Structure 1
């Protein structure tokens, strides 16, 4: 009973953000700084609590802002820095308010490269030093150096956590890529083996049975053997056997094609977002591994693009057939930021489709989502 109650709480999106491994220590630090303000001789100053609330609100909002909204992310981080420095100005004797900048340094390291983080924290620490000096603090430099050490420690932890997360995601994508390719190769090898067996049956067994049938027909035409029942039975059995072999050969040649569904689902499985919604028409039977590989890479790039740039939750992929052409449409439920332009990923997608004898078109829907339409030889 208790475990189900706890699970229900953690299923809440807001609480999942709060209880992230790197967020919980930050919120505990923010809470500790707030409690320490009660011991300041100006604890009733409303501006202090306004600065505390501003920092906490900007911190929490930042966790719900997509990473591709860089301007809003930078604005929230700047708000945190201003609130932390303002709080230091309002409560210079509190001693704990610069700890908020330790939280900020970890956030910067999780979002920006190390060089940008270093420059930003140097500027913020310079501001901290000036605020402490202006407020009459006797050991402003010592305070800045102490908290700069904490900032460096938190930044390094966040930096390596970010690197580990990126490496894990990259490994998951590579593993999914290998699983999808293996599924296509297994299907291709299976079909190749079926065709080989069909050719062997047709060329060897079929040829010999045909020769035997002709010989039996010649014997049946001989008056000395024409009335013997064994000849008639042998003719009938050889004809039936030849027909059975032809049916088997035809069945072996009528392959069901490569299983695109298994490969595409294996490709999308490691990605927590966006979720793949796949629809493949019943008349789609791919036998060319090169075309299947092209579709696989097209969907892979679409999933990556939707996750990175559109903040999509779902990607709908529909594959159908129109005569001798395959039609592939991919549409997410996100929103393209700014003007649609082809980066390296989309340009590579177009080149791959064109090389396979197909065409590719990119559109934005009325609600701003990206729609990819491709045609390939069936």
Structure 2
């Protein structure tokens, strides 16, 4: 599947911001490191020990946060803020306040816009309080305003990036909906053409074959005990057989289910920024169009949820016949998952209701850092055939 430029750019931007944050952290610590090299005795001073511990704690917390760990992300942000305050209070290089800009750039990823603004405001107040204790009020105010400007810039940049990412996810969802609609419209067009052909066969060919069969039956009855009676009987049986085959063809055309595998492939190819790995047998067929439509909608809902919530790069979907004649769907992604129980929305609820109406069921489970896993079953009455 081709790479979507917007998504690739997002991943690249995330890596660049991580590198920029680590470089900023290293630059803040470089003067102190030079000082320790020149005067090793400074290591033993209490202020130096506190600063070193705070500096290292900030770096570790930032690195863990950048790994996109789901657990404790707000707590990691708090560790960085407290460590930055401690570094400002015990450092003397004048660069320690830059650590707050790194925290401000991460806040919109974890918090809502209002809470992120409140968080940065609290950082500014805390920074001013520390500066006011160490320096005269005027100098403390100037230093605070300088670093507040840095924080405002990184916060604004991060807010724009978060909104852009949300817009991309929403665009991906809408694109997937459009792709699914196109697939279903194409299927409806094919279904309409089949119904038209079925009606023509029934109304025209079926009518004439019925008339032919009746006339042959009358002729055979009239020509009883004549040399042509056997030929008329065979012709009548052939007409009846042909009429039965036409009726079977009409029934098959009317009841033909959705072509599942081509439809699923078309749907998977329209999922931007997500590698969808389909494992569906070529010979898989379903007994009813309603079952095929339910499975198609199931895959569509899985794709939509993965694009909107999972932050995944890969999605695996397997659809296989079961030993009892049913069909089983298994889907999982490599997204962030969730440490809390999933509360089903309208999509999952509708999927469960659709499968329950056919006698099947749907189950899902998720764990933090392990993605979402879904399993669905349809019974033999609506299941697979080959």
Q: Could you state the TM-score of these two structures normalised by the residue count of structure 2?
A: 0.70
Deviations 1:53-103 (A, max 9, x none): 43333222212234x43xx212221222223222222323x2322122112
Q: Does the C-alpha gap of structure 1 residues 197 and 320 become closer, same or farther in structure 2, counting only changes over 3 Å?
A: same
Whole-angstrom distance in 2 between the partners of 1:216 and 1:348: 55
Alignment of 1:1-378 (within 5 A): 20-37=15-32, 47=48, 48=51, 50-66=53-69, 68-69=70-71, 72-92=72-92, 94-136=93-135, 139-211=139-211, 250=248, 253-254=251-252, 257-269=257-269, 270=271, 272=273, 275-280=276-281, 282-285=283-286, 287-289=288-290, 291-303=291-303, 308=309, 314-320=315-321, 326-330=327-331, 337-338=338-339, 340=341, 342-344=343-345, 346-354=348-356, 358-362=360-364, 370-375=373-378, 378=382
Quote the residue 1:9 is aligned against: none
Alignment partner of 2:95: what SS? Answer: coil
Relative contact order higher in (CA < 8 Å, ≥ 6 apart): 2
Whole-angstrom distance in 2 between the partners of 1:221 and 1:122: 102
**What 5-or-longer segments of structure 2 have no aligned partner?**
1-10
Quote the residue 1:7 is aligned against: none
Whole-angstrom distance in 1 between the partners of 2:301 and 2:201: 42
1:202–1:245 Cα contact (<8 Å) kept: no
Whole-angstrom distance in 2 between the partners of 1:373 and 1:217: 53
Q: Could you state the TM-score of these two structures normalised by the residue count of structure 1?
A: 0.72
Deviation at 1:18, TM superposition (A): 8.5
Deviations 1:273-323 (A, max 9, x none): 57444335835326425x444333433444555674697954443253677
Deviates more, 1:214-223 or 1:113-122: 214-223
Q: Superposition RMSD on alpha carbons, in Å?
A: 4.4
1:17–1:63 Cα contact (<8 Å) kept: no
